[in-house]
């Protein structure tokens, strides 16, 4: 659709329509996705749009649908591998604009762009317990609801009360947590292509010092075990039933396995890291080799947790 950095006529028309919806400054052209992913990898997106409220999200998506141009809803890019060729279509970057938070008693409502770490930090400061597990997850509230993110025996579904979504048909709805069909790294939001606009957490009053101590302990455990000093998208693979991905990869002798700038972390085999200058093709090559080798040695096919785009 775009050619050598120039938008074709159809995309240019859409860009003008999007200017009217979100303002010209919030529509970027040929935006490098490497700047919007924790992997620091990814070629340019034709259009990168930053809506600042739910109506702008709705109107942006409607404009893309009417123009029959593909779109992708981006959070903090912490679970994404974007191709080296980038994305032909519109990135709807909800995490940059929708960042409001409201607190009432023990309930906290966050717009979808709020960083999960910040939400966890805020809850701690307010003496609200429940979100400690999330203190080291660098995703947005929207991305975390989408895949029911979790860590250390906690997950989003444990603390969510409801989620405000934009459905594919353009209607907004509020879904209670039990209507989300949450599972391990899965929710109905993903199945039905809904967009998370905001989420309300049901927390409990607690002791800030105890909450802080738990968060500090989880942060220490992460720092000890995970290669947080290098760009990655967290755990590359889902936990296969009855196994741990990291242990299988270690036992297969793959720690340190490298293609170009991408490698299986020596610190935690469950992470593929960008050692510097890695391309998406490098990461793909590492992932495929790990899948094949683990399957050959142990008969288990690892399924990526990281999502691929472009």
Give the residue numbers annotated as catalytic, written as ranges: 185, 235, 305
Q: Which is nearer to ligand FAD, 73 or 175 (CB)?
A: 73
From the CB of 36, what's the least distance to ligand FAD, in Å?
Answer: 8
| 142 belongs to the binding site for ligand FAD (CB under 6 A) | yes
Q: Are 79 and 306 in contact (CB under 8 A)?
A: yes
Contact flag: residue 112 with ligand FAD (CB under 6 A): yes
Among 21, 33, 149, 180, binds ligand FAD (CB under 6 A): 149
- Cα 149 versus chain centre, distance: 9
In sign, the C-alpha dihedral spanning 26, 101, 235, 182 is: negative
Q: Which is nearer to ligand FAD, 9 or 241 (CB)?
A: 241
Tell me: does residue 74 bind ligand FAD (CB under 6 A). yes
- The residue (of 63 and 196) whose beta carbon lies closer to ligand FAD is 196
Binding of ligand FAD by 278 (CB under 6 A): no
Residues in 231-260 at the binding interface with ligand FAD, rule: CB under 6 A: 232-234
Q: How far is the CB of 133 from ligand FAD (least distance, A)?
A: 8
CB-based contact 85:310 (threshold 8 Å): yes
Considering only 34, 60, 78, 279, the residue that binds ligand FAD (CB under 6 A) is: 78
Q: Counting beta carbons within 10 angstroms of the beta carbon of residue 220, is it exposed (0 to 12), middle (13 to 18) or buried (19 or more)? A: exposed
Stretches 44-52, 144-152, 240-248, 291-299: which one binds ligand FAD (CB under 6 A)? 144-152
| Footprint of ligand FAD on 180-219 (CB under 6 A) | 189, 195-196
- Contacts with ligand FAD by CB under 6 A lie at 38, 72-80, 94-95, 112, 137-140, 142-144, 146-147, 149-151, 189, 195-196, 228, 232-234, 307
């Amino acid at each position: 659709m775009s050619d050598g950095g120039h938008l074709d006529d159809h995309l240019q028309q859409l860009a003008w329509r999007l200017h009217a919806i979100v303002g010209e400054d919030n529509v970027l052209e040929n935006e490098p996705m490497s700047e919007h992913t924790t992997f620091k990898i990814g070629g340019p997106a034709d259009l990168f749009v930053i809506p600042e409220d739910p109506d702008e999200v709705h109107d942006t998506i409607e404009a893309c649908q009417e123009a029959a141009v593909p779109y992708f809803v981006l959070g903090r890019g912490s679970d994404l591998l974007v191709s080296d060729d980038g994305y032909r279509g519109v990135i709807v970057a909800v995490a940059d604009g929708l960042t409001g938070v409201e607190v009432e008693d023990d309930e906290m409502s966050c717009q979808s762009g709020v960083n999960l770490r910040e939400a966890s930090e805020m809850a701690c400061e307010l003496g609200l317990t429940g979100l400690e597990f999330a203190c080291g997850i660098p995703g947005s509230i929207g991305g975390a609801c989408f895949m029911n993110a979790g860590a250390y025996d906690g997950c989003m579904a444990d603390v969510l009360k409801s989620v405000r979504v934009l459905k594919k048909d353009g209607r907004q709805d509020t879904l209670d947590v039990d209507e989300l069909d949450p599972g391990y790294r899965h929710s109905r939001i993903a199945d039905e292509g809904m967009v998370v606009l905001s989420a309300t957490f049901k927390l409990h009053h607690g002791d800030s010092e105890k909450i802080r101590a738990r968060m500090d302990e989880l942060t220490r455990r992460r720092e000890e075990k995970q290669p947080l000093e290098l760009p990655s998208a967290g755990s590359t693979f889902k936990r296969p039933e009855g196994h741990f991905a990291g242990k299988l990869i270690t036992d297969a002798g793959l720690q340190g396995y490298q293609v170009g700038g991408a490698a299986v972390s020596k610190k935690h085999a469950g992470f593929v890291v960008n050692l510097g200058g890695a391309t998406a093709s490098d990461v793909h090559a590492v992932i495929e080799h790990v899948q094949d080798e683990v399957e050959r040695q142990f008969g288990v096919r690892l399924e990526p947790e990281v999502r691929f785009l472009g």
